[in-house]
Each structure stands twice: as C-alpha cells, then as structure tokens.
Amino acid sequence: MTPPPPTPLAAALRRMQRILCIAGVVLVIGEVGAALVLSTNVASLALAVVATSLLVAVQVLVLPRVASDPDRLVLWVGLSYVAKILVLLGAVQAAKVFDGDVRFVAVSAVVVVLVALGVEMWVLVRARVPAVDPKS
C-alpha cells in the first residue's frame, strides 16, 4: 500500500528545510568573505560560523515537530526562540572571552535569524495551505 501524499503544509515545511540548509551554506560563505574583507580574526569567524550553523540547525530541527504536533505549536516555536536567544548570547559572550570581534559575531547571528524568518515567510506565503484542515 502506498503512503498518502503529503499535506501542503508538510510539503512546504520540507521545502523550507531544504532552503534553510542552502541559505546556511550561503551565509557561511558570506561570513568567510566578510571576514577576509574586514580582516576579522579567526576566532570571530569561527564563532560566527558555529552560531550560524547552530541557528540554522535549531530552525531545521524544530520544523518537523511543529508540523507533527499542532497542539504544541506554541511550545515548539517558543522553545526555538529561547534556543536562538541562547545561541546568540553564547556566541557574543564567547567572542568577548576569546577577544573576538563582538559586532561581527552579533551581526552575523542577527542576519541568520532574519534570513530564516524571511525564508519561513516566503515559503509559507507561496504554499497553498488551506485555512481549514478538514477532518476526514
């Protein structure tokens, strides 16, 4: 027996995961380029890359949980925001400890969050998700 086709929301979330992974790679490449242009030290670049990877990973890992359990949507979204804030704070504090460029790390992390929100908005606006989920 073949499995039922994915719902429009599930398909949109899978698309969002793929786009977020690609965006994460592009952002890391951009961070390396910016670090070279700005002559940023290696510690700052490493922290920015780690923060970018963790922020994208949080977003990608939370998406399936949001889709699989609509009753706990607010919980998962809230936990993802708390995790993102902790990653941002940890990256900034680590930049201070390792005598890195705090602005470079913070701006990189904020750009990642804004890109992730933009990807979410773009994918969900383009998705044909019904306003009401009919129960069969």
49-108 tens-digit pLDDT: 999 999 999 999 988 887 777 788 788 888 988 999 999 999 999 999 988 899 999 999
* 58 contacts: CB under 8 Å, gap ≥ 6: 80, 83, 84, 87
Can you give the three-state secondary structure of 22-55, one letter per residue? HHHHHHHHHHHHHHHHHCCCHHHHHHHHHHHHHH
CA distances from 129 to 36, 66, 88, 132 (A): 43, 15, 32, 9
Delimit the domains of the chain by residue range: 8-126
Tell me the pTM. Answer: 0.83
Two tokens at 45? Answer: 């670049």
